[in-house]
Amino acid sequence: MDDEEGARKIIMAAMRLGNLKSVAADTPTTALAALGVQGFDLIFLDVGLPEMTGFELCSKVRMLPLHEKTPIVFITGMATFQNRVQSSLSGGNDFVGKPFNISELGLKALIWVFRGQLGQI
């Protein structure tokens, strides 16, 4: 979930590199609607979003039965120490600062998907 179309396209391209299917959402409301009815293996969240922060969205996602343990990775241009700490406190599993390497993001996605499938979260 990223509110910037360019960022969503790059993240989705990284998922294609890892042969992972992806779905993008441009608002927290859209993301929560999809997450409430469908399970996903991994969730990427931006920190700065319309309607609510990525941290607030992460906390809401953690309350959804389908996503109590789904890996959540924050991707943001606001890679401060405070945001890294807040990402963990809100239920996030990892944190990636922008700009990022597209291949590295694809690899990180694969690692989190496999860890989730193995129950290592």
For residue 67, the number of C-alpha atoms closer than 13 Å in the C-beta half-sphere is: 27
> What is the reported pTM?
0.88
Distance between CA atoms of 105 and 116, rounded to whole angstroms? 16
pLDDT-based confidence at residue 51 (cuts at 50, 70, 90): confident
Q: What is the CATH number of domain 5-115?
A: 3.40.50.2300
Of 94, 102, 1, residue with least CA distance to 46:
1
Q: Where are the domains of the chain?
A: 5-115
Q: How far is CA 101 from CA 11, 14, 46, 67, 74, in A?
A: 10, 9, 16, 27, 15
* 74, pLDDT greater than 80: yes
pLDDT-based confidence at residue 57 (cuts at 50, 70, 90): very high
pLDDT attached to residue 14: 86
- Token digits of residue 71: 């890996």
CB of 8 closer than 8 Å to CB of 2: yes
Strand partners, 45: 74
pLDDT-based confidence at residue 92 (cuts at 50, 70, 90): very high
Tell me, what amino acid is at 47?
Answer: V
Under DSSP, is residue 82 helix (H, G, I), strand (E, B) or coil?
helix
Distance between CA atoms of 94 and 106, rounded to whole angstroms? 14
